[in-house]
Amino acid sequence: MFNAIVINKDDAGYRAEQQQLDESALPEGDVTVDVMYSGLNYKDGLAITGKGPVVRKFPMVPGIDLVGTVRQSNHANYQAGESVILNGWGVGETHWGGLAQVARLKGDWLVPLPSGMAARDAAAIGTAGYTAMLCVMALQQQGVKPGDGEIVVTGAAGGVGSVAISILAKLGFDVVAVTGRASEADYLKQLGANTIMDRAELSEPGKPLAKERWAGAVDVVGSHTLANICASTRYRGVVTACGLAGGMDFPSTVAPFILRGVTLVGIDSVMCPRELRLQAWQRLAAELELDKLHAMIQEIGLGQVIDTAGQLMQGQVRGRVVVDVSRG
């Protein structure tokens, strides 16, 4: 038996609760992992609260990421005792996920824990931090350099934003942190943001083209925020889009793209190829400063997950939530 968060949807409604499950109920997979830590991401909040159609089959154990130790493996790349990370691949949506003490997974979904990285730190980075690194990598691959101008990061106090600010600042970029929580200004400046911007400045409908400002962007919001960022991005600037906290719509025009040569890069962390995942995790191990990472962390046990998911959806959670699944 093992403890897990379980989501059900039936005649009694949509609900999430902590349960004890028998290991015989685990889904198919060629690697069984004893989970040490999981995380609580925005998508997990949507799944647990039912505020978004994340879960595709029931019952479902949520948790789109995990860090743990291989207990049993029929996959050539992994042996018992190895430490592994999982992010995405539909886990927590169509396949039981990481908010449990045991998981059975496809070995092709896993990546090894980077040498020298602690399991708790990997969980603190989680899908949010790995997504942030994919955004940074895309900006650099498109040629954005520290001397080119300001990089705007939306949802700055959240998981993706916090990690993105830390990495960009270490690389020498001039970071503008966009947040709706003025009380987080000191926290964001400690992570490396040079300027704090009220999200209200970007969240309302704007002009097709605005004054050029941004050399690049990391956006987790979408909707009018993303449209306004594109409208005010400098000639040949690059915008990375990885979230929809403000909505799935994109009320923009072609003007920024055909008049200023702006590039909009979509960032998908769920089905991202293994080679890119390995590169992202190796860079996180080398470039994310641990003191800044530790400043982002709130650690909870499984028994606090459901309440914390509600707080996350209300915008009351800063940085990264690490779930120690051994704790009730």
Q: How many domains does the chain have?
A: 2
Residues 82, 189, single domain; the answer is no
Residues 24 and 150 both lie in one domain: no
Say yes or no to pLDDT of 192 above 90.
yes
Residues 101, 32 within the same domain = yes
Q: What confidence category does residue 328 fall into, taking pLDDT thresholds of 50, 70 and 90? A: confident
pLDDT number for residue 225:
98
Write the CB contacts of 268 (distance below 8 Å, at least 6 apart in sequence): none
In a domain, 18, yes or no: yes
What is the spatial distance between Cα 234 and Cα 37, in angstroms, rounded to a whole number? 41
CA–CA separation, 64 and 99 (whole Å) = 8
Confidence bin at 66 (pLDDT 50/70/90): very high
Q: Is residue 57 located within the same domain as residue 172?
A: no
What is the structure's pLDDT at 217? 99
Residue 244 and residue 189 share a domain = yes
Cβ contacts of 218 within 8 Å, gap of 6 or more:
132, 135, 136, 139, 151, 152, 153, 154, 160, 161, 164, 168, 240, 242
CATH code assigned at 152: 3.40.50.720
Same domain, 144 and 262: yes
Instruction: Confirm whether 63 is domain-assigned.
Output: yes
Distance CA 145, CA 166 (A): 16
Range 9-24 average pLDDT: 95
DSSP conformation letters of 313-328: HTT---SEEEEETT--
Both structure tokens of 151: 């990089």
Is 233 within a domain?
yes
pTM of the predicted model as reported, rounded to 2 decimal places: 0.94
Q: Say how far apart CA 20 and CA 210 lie, in whole Å.
A: 55
Do 87 and 20 belong together in one domain? Answer: yes
The pLDDT of residue 111 is 97
pLDDT in tens, 163-191: 999 999 999 999 999 999 999 999 999 99
Cα 207 from Cα 183, distance rounded (Å): 29
Using the Cα atoms of residue 316, residue 318, residue 322 and residue 328 in order, give the sign of their dihedral.
negative
* Mean pLDDT, range 115-121, rounded to an integer: 97
Secondary structure of residue 189 in the 3-state scheme:
helix
Distance (Å, whole) CA 257 – CA 13 = 45
Question: Which residues on neighbouring strands pair with residue 233, listed in sequence order?
Answer: 214
CA 62 to CA 55: how far, in whole Å?
8
Does residue 291 sit within a domain? no
* C-beta of residue 5 within 8 angstroms of C-beta of residue 306: yes
Residue 10 CA to residue 300 CA, distance in Å, equals 29
Of the candidate ranges 9-13, 25-29, 169-173, the one whose mean pLDDT is the lowest:
9-13
Same domain (yes/no): 130, 108: no
**Are residues 246 and 312 both part of a single domain?**
no
For residue 226, the enclosing domain spans 126-266
pLDDT at 12: 87
* Same domain? 180 vs 255: yes
Residue 301: predicted pLDDT: 98
DSSP 33-94: EEEEEEEE-HHHHHHHHTSSS---SSSB---SEEEEEEEEE-STT--TT-EEEEE-TTBTTT
The reply to whether 276 falls in a domain is no
| pLDDT at site 209 | 98
pLDDT tens digits for 269-323? 999 999 999 999 999 999 999 999 999 999 999 999 999 999 999 999 999 999 9
Tell me the per-residue pLDDT of 28-57, one tens digit each, with 9 for 90 and over: 999 999 999 999 999 999 999 999 999 999
Q: What percent of the chain has pLDDT over 70?
A: 100
